[in-house]
Amino acid sequence: MDLEKRVEELTQRLLDAQRAYYVEGRPFISDLEYDRLFDELKAIEDEHPELLREDSPTQRVGSDLASDFPEAAHTIPVLSLDKAYSAQEVVSWMEKTGKAAGGHLSFVEEEKIDGISMVLYYEGGLLVRALTRGNGHVGNDVTPNIRTVRSIPLRLSEALDIAVRGEVYLPKADFERLKEDQPDVANPRNMAAGAVRRQKSSESAAIPLRFFAYEAFWSEESQTPADHLSILACLKRLGFPVNPHFAVFSQSAEHGRRLLEAAGLDAPSYAFSDLDGYLAKASKVRKDLPYEIDGMVTKVNELPIREVLGYTEHHPRWAIAYKFESPQAVTTVLGVTVQVGRTGRITPVAELEPVALGGSTVRRATLHNQEYIDELELAIGDSVSVVKRGDVIPAVEEVLEKNNEGHSTYTMPASCPSCGSHLVQRGAHLFCPNKDCPDQVRGRISYFTAKGQMDMDSIGPKAVAKLYEMGLVKDIPDLYTCDFDKLIGEKGYGEKMTASFKAAVEESKKKPFINVLSSLGLPDVAIKGAQTLIAGGFSDIDKLLDAASRGDVEAFTRIDGIGPQTAAAIIEALDDPVMKERIRRLRDAGLQFAQVEEDPSNRPEQVFEGQVWAVTGSFEHFNPRTKAVQELEKRGARTVSSVTSKTTHLLMGKGGGSKKAQAEKLGVQIVDEDGFLSLLGWKDGGAKAEEPAGGQLSFDF
């Protein structure tokens, strides 16, 4: 048989099958049959590369070659949307817009899909470029990754030059399933954003992204239809998935029905007066949709009127987004600084126009790493929403509006801002490799003295910086030999201050081994890690040093909760001569390097034995909330950071949102603070949580 013809046949059949499955939701062949045809096509293409077509269904699986995302200019305006937070605002906007346009308008109401904005450029009907929104003028070219999205047509049913705007999203169910392996990803949007920016398109292909098209721009003016409804109809005809949940609002339901009929579409039609109820209903049924939406979009239907209304710098004047929830806080990014943590990890931090949020003023928010910045497409000058979850550091959640100054997405520096060393990439983060980097040294010492660690909190980061600057303390053990009186006379340092430093140093010698161990700065060994090691049999430092010098990974990995990577990292750190010398000097100074046997009569009853608890929100009696975690663990519970099918209980404080929904879905028992106090037997006495054995979780921040 003619191979070329067979390729043609297979391609057509597979494309039809994909379309039936992903766009129309009506599969006509089995998965098995699909795979068989697919494999046949792939085999022919492998043998005869000259027969490989650009729109071949085999191109959906992506490639293992790393690609970066070159910038490319948009040829259409890619702006954000004006926002409203109440139905009333939308109604007034409609009235105002109608007046400005000088006539009766009709509007199309669509769901605002909470995904990643994408512009697909087709030339002669072939997908040639997929660009992110970027700064609205220039986006990132993510074409290889977008080709893997099954519902995006690679070739249109007509040979058009057209730009299509839409949203790439991840269905909720897929997110929940994939979250098991990626527990750090907060929501479907973030997971979709990550997938769109994978360097290897084969990794994007592994995430079942979906697409909804909602705008189209023809390069040939004469081909442009007269209204938005006709655009939607046309997108459907061309093979794009169009969200079926939309409605028309006009002076009468009857009028809207005529418009729908003219476009050949079937959708509900309402009079303006019904808008209130429609939006209220939308926000109610939202939770039952298979994908996330964060609002509704109202768009002028008549395209000639859109032309008249035009655009502002930021958004079209012919559309408005009604958002279900008002943002936590909206502010502007004034700049980005980078911090060097005690482990050398580099964290970009957004410097914000100060804004009130949850009872405090937020001036800075973490941006985590370059990947996070890229996902947000964040640039200096952008307006952003900032959120605070539980007692965590505030984070930039979303870019709301791009800057006017033409700044593009922020990129991290190549060298350490503290010591100038060339930064190295490890996993998602950049690190300064220089152990003597001043910021790292100061960070290490401040971490050691911090509250919850050695509790020498009078010697805070400022004092540490001063001591370091004067050459009095260059490493942790110097705290125990240093003459603090040399500080007297320096601005802000008097006798009272130095006396408190000396007292803190003396007190610290009584701190139990768990605090000493957790304060040394070993990788992954904060209070919880130290507890795990001690409970696992490492009851003194010599046992640890011995295991490390033998390179005995097993000695660590046999402990529940310690994996081979952590084990290797701990061994390497302990075997470092600088660390050994540090430990030797601290031991000479009289610190506790062995666990004192606990009196078993003090051990509380193991009432939570065998249970798995997650903790969310903030608490009155357990602040920071690690105090609640400690009470749980003391009584035999295992604690986890996310709610999964294995979780038995969720301890729910104030303001814990997403975990609660997850717990309800999975039927996990939810316990509030009051209930927890009762379980601890503290309820009637009204006792406050006693001082914890350990302290607060530490952030490398």
Q: How far apart are CA 57 and CA 138, in angstroms?
A: 29
Q: At what angle do helices 438-449 and 461-469 cross, to 10 degrees?
A: 130
Burial of 147 (0-12, 13-18, 19+ CB in 10 A): buried
**Binds 449, which of ligand AMP, Zn ion, none (CB < 5 to 8 A, cut-off by type)?**
none
Q: Which residue, 209 or 479, is less far from ligand AMP as judged by CB?
A: 209
**339, 577, 588, 523: which is closest to 442 by C-alpha?**
339
Angle between helices 541-549 and 577-588 (to 10 degrees): 160
Nearer to ligand AMP, 80 or 187 (CB): 80
594 is in the binding site of which of ligand AMP, Zn ion, none (Cβ under 5 to 8 A by kind)? none
389 binds, among Zn ion, ligand AMP, none (CB under 5 to 8 A by kind): none
Stretch that binds Zn ion, among 412-420, 441-449, 453-461, 676-684 (CB under 5 A): 412-420
User: Quick check: 419 binds Zn ion (CB under 5 A)?
Assistant: yes
For the chain, the C-alpha Rg in angstroms (whole number) is 30
- The residue among 298 and 647 lying less far from ligand AMP, judged by its C-beta, is 298
Tokens 């795979």 belong to residue: 35
Between CA 341 and CA 345 the distance in angstroms is 5
Residue 700 C-beta: closest distance to Zn ion, Å: 14
Return the one option of ligand AMP, Zn ion, none that residue 416 interacts with (CB less than 5 to 8 A, by type).
Zn ion
User: For residue 579, what are the contacts with CB-CB under 8 A and spacing of at least 6?
Assistant: 520, 522, 573
| Two structure tokens written together for 323 | 């958002």
Residue-by-residue DSSP string for 580-638: HHHHHHHHHTT---BPPPP-GGGSPP-TTTT-EEEEESB-SSSSSTHHHHHHHHHTT-E
422 or 584: CB nearest Zn ion = 422
Which option in ligand AMP, Zn ion, none does residue 659 bind, with CB closer than 5 to 8 A by kind?
A: none
**Min separation Cβ 242 and ligand AMP, Å:** 10
| Residue 113 interacts with which of Zn ion, ligand AMP, none, CB < 5 to 8 Å by class | ligand AMP
Active-site residue list: 112
Least distance to ligand AMP from the beta carbon of 143, Å? 18
Query: Least Å distance between CB 80 and ligand AMP?
Result: 3
Instruction: Calculate the CA 13 to chain-centre distance.
Output: 38
* DSSP code string of 19-36: IIIIISS---S-HHHHHH
Pair of tokens at residue 236: 């459907």
Choose between 298 and 515: whose C-beta lies nearer to ligand AMP: 298
Which residue ranges make up the site for ligand AMP (CB under 6 A)?
80-81, 110, 112-113, 117, 133, 167, 214, 297, 321, 400
Do the Cβ atoms of 420 and 369 come closer than 8 Å? no
- Under 8 Å between Cβ of 262 and 340: no
Amino acid identity of residue 683, one-letter, is K
User: DSSP string spanning 215-226?
Assistant: EEEESSGGG--S
Query: For residue 436, what is the DSSP state?
Result: T
Please pick, from the candidates 149, 336, 430, 432, the single residue that binds Zn ion as defined by CB under 5 A: 432
- Choose between 45 and 215: whose C-beta lies nearer to ligand AMP: 215
> Rounded to the nearest 5°, which phi and psi values hold at 569?
-65, -40
User: Shortest Cβ distance from residue 153 to ligand AMP (Å)?
Assistant: 19
- Interacting residues with Zn ion between 625 and 644 (CB under 5 A): none
- Residue 112 binds which of Zn ion, ligand AMP, none (CB < 5-8 A, kind-dependent): ligand AMP
Q: Which is nearer to ligand AMP, 166 or 208 (CB)?
A: 166
Residue 418 sits in the site that holds Zn ion (CB under 5 A):
yes
Q: State the binding partner of 167 from Zn ion, ligand AMP, none, CB within 5 to 8 A by kind.
A: ligand AMP
In the complex, least distance from residue 434 CB atom to Zn ion, rounded to whole angstroms: 5
Residue 441 CB, nearest distance to ligand AMP (Å)? 42
| The binder of Zn ion chosen from 355, 396, 416, 482 (CB under 5 A) | 416
Q: Residue 231 is encoded by which pair of tokens? A: 């655009």
* Rounded-to-integer distance, Cα 396 and Cα 387, Å: 6
- Nearer to ligand AMP by Cβ, of 98 and 139: the residue is 139
What's phi and psi for 689, nearest 5 deg? -60, 130
Give the whole-angstrom CA distance, residue 631 versus residue 624: 12
- Answer for which of 154, 352, 437, 643 binds Zn ion (CB under 5 A) is 437
Cβ closer to Zn ion: 251 or 421?
A: 421
Residue 437 binds which of ligand AMP, Zn ion, none (CB < 5-8 A, kind-dependent): Zn ion
Task: Using the minimum distance from each CB to ligand AMP, give the nearer residue, 193 or 570.
Answer: 193
Dihedral angle sign, alpha carbons of residues 276, 281, 287, 288: negative
Distance of CA 336 to CAs 342, 349, 367, 409, Å?
A: 20, 6, 9, 11
* C-beta separation of 355 from 361 below 8 A: yes
Closest approach, Cβ 191 to ligand AMP, in A, equals: 16
Contacts 24+ apart (CB under 8 A), 569-577: 569/523, 569/524, 570/522, 570/523, 570/524, 570/525, 571/547, 573/521, 573/522, 573/523, 574/522, 574/544, 574/545, 574/548, 575/548, 575/549, 575/551
Are 494 and 488 within 8 A, CB to CB? Answer: yes
Query: Choosing among ligand AMP, Zn ion, none, which partner's interface includes residue 10 (Cβ < 5 to 8 Å by kind)?
Result: none
Residue placing its CB nearer to ligand AMP in the complex, 125 or 139: 139
HSE (CB half, 13 Å, CA atoms) of 411?
A: 4
Residue 224 binds what, of ligand AMP, Zn ion, none (CB under 5 to 8 Å, by partner type)? none
Minimum CB separation from ligand AMP for residue 127, in Å? Answer: 19
Binding site for Zn ion (CB under 5 A): 416, 418-419, 421, 432, 434, 437
